[in-house]
């Protein structure tokens, strides 16, 4: 006897991952989801039409735009459609919606309204770049696009100088050389990294090397979609005696005891409570 799965009441938001380059990566489930949608919200409706043509798909779904500039206004409209029981599919230009792309605002609104959210998994530039980078991938952090202004970008990179996990960034090709130069200054010229360009496309390229070396290469110009993977910092061996001296120097320069201990503990890896007690003991001694 054949059993059918009952349809859930109410609408459903489906985050559909689209190919990041090679259209052959489109899954059968993505094709089915696009065919059966009631409404498709696309970051770029022209890109969506191009994808449908390449997939030789026809859909009766109504298509609307959903991008950074109209997210705030469009989200209530999509919530109303979902509340009316519509099957709404969200697609971006490439990869998974809401991952450094439009989608988070709508997902959060659906969760708050009790509307079901699911996904059709698809290609990801983040995971693909990690996989081919040759760098450790057991632990990583996704940093997306850093600030465009050089000063703000450098400050963010300095904060990541002690990050021990492999880091993944997106960057525009015309800013790549500046980004890598700033990263070399903040993280070290020899810090291993990989620049992944045009992943899964015809002219895919992965350049591996130290940050300074890659910055020199990028000065010649790079084109296409860029994902940068940078190795994490080598863990520092804690030196309690040196940490106590650092705290004492900060105090001598005018920093209060607790803030000085907190700053040095974070930078050196020495346990805060143990460092605080060691400083007190040094004072008594």
Question: What dihedral angle (degrees, nearest 10) is formed by the CA atoms of 274, 280, 284, 285?
Answer: 40
Structure tokens at 48: 């969506």
Final residue belonging to a domain, choices 186, 206, 230: 230
pLDDT tens-place string over residues 21-72: 999 999 999 999 999 999 999 999 999 999 999 999 999 999 999 999 999 9
70-76 LR contacts (CB < 8 Å, sep 24+): 71/102, 71/105, 71/106, 72/105, 74/41, 75/105, 75/106, 75/109, 76/109
Question: How many other β-carbons are positioned within 10 Å of the β-carbon of residue 32?
Answer: 12
62 contacts 45 by C-beta, under 8 angstroms? no
Is residue 5 one of the residues assigned to a domain? Answer: no
Same domain membership, residue 139 and residue 117: no
Same domain membership, residue 219 and residue 173: yes
Same domain membership, residue 203 and residue 246: no
Which residues of the chain are under the pLDDT cut of 50? 1-8
Strand partners, 227: 170, 196
| Coil vs helix vs strand at 74 | helix
Is residue 277 one of the residues assigned to a domain? Answer: yes
The whole-angstrom separation of Cα 276 and Cα 243 is 10
Is residue 7 one of the residues assigned to a domain? Answer: no
Final residue belonging to a domain, choices 87, 102, 123: 123
Return the beta strands (E) in 107-223 as ranges.
Answer: 116-120, 140-145, 166-171, 192-197, 205-210
pTM: 0.78
Structure tokens at 134: 């040759």
The whole-angstrom separation of Cα 65 and Cα 262 is 48
State the distance between the two ends of the chain, measured CA to CA, in whole angstroms: 84
User: Domain with 40 in it: what CATH number?
Assistant: 3.40.1010.10
16 contacts 107 by C-beta, under 8 angstroms? no
Is residue 4 one of the residues assigned to a domain? Answer: no
Final residue belonging to a domain, choices 73, 90, 123: 123
What was the pLDDT predicted at 236? 67
Phi-psi region of 42 (alpha: psi -120 to 50; beta: other; left: phi over 0): beta
Same domain membership, residue 110 and residue 137: no
Same domain membership, residue 195 and residue 155: yes
Domain that holds residue 269: 240-284
Number of structural domains in the chain: 3
56-61 LR contacts (CB < 8 Å, sep 24+): 57/31, 59/34, 59/35, 61/34, 61/37, 61/89
């Amino acid at each position: 006897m054949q059993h059918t799965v009952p349809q859930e009441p109410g609408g459903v938001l489906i985050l559909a991952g689209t190919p990041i380059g090679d259209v052959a990566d489109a899954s059968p489930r993505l094709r089915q989801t696009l065919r059966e949608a009631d409404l498709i919200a696309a970051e770029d409706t022209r890109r969506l039409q191009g994808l449908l043509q390449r997939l030789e798909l026809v859909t009766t779904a109504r298509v609307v735009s959903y991008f950074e500039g109209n997210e705030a206004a469009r989200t209530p409209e999509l919530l109303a459609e979902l509340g009316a029981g519509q099957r709404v599919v969200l697609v971006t230009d490439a990869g998974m919606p809401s991952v450094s792309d439009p989608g988070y605002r709508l997902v959060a609104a659906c969760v708050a309204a009790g509307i079901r959210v699911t996904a059709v998994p698809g290609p990801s530039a983040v995971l693909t770049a990690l996989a081919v980078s040759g760098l450790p991938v057991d632990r990583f952090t996704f940093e997306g696009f850093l600030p465009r202004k050089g000063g703000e970008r450098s400050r963010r990179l300095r904060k990541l100088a002690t990050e021990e996990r492999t880091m993944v960034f997106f960057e525009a090709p015309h800013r790549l050389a500046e980004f890598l130069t700033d990263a070399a200054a903040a993280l070290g010229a020899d810090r291993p990294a990989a620049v992944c360009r045009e992943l899964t496309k015809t002219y895919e390229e992965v350049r591996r090397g130290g940050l300074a070396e890659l910055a020199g290469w990028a000065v010649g110009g790079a084109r296409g979609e860029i994902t940068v993977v940078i190795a994490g910092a080598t863990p520092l061996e804690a030196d309690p005696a040196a940490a106590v001296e650092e705290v004492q120097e900060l105090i001598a320069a005018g920093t209060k005891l607790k803030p000085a201990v907190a700053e040095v503990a974070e930078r050196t890896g020495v346990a805060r409570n143990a460092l605080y007690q060691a400083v007190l003991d040094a004072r008594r001694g």
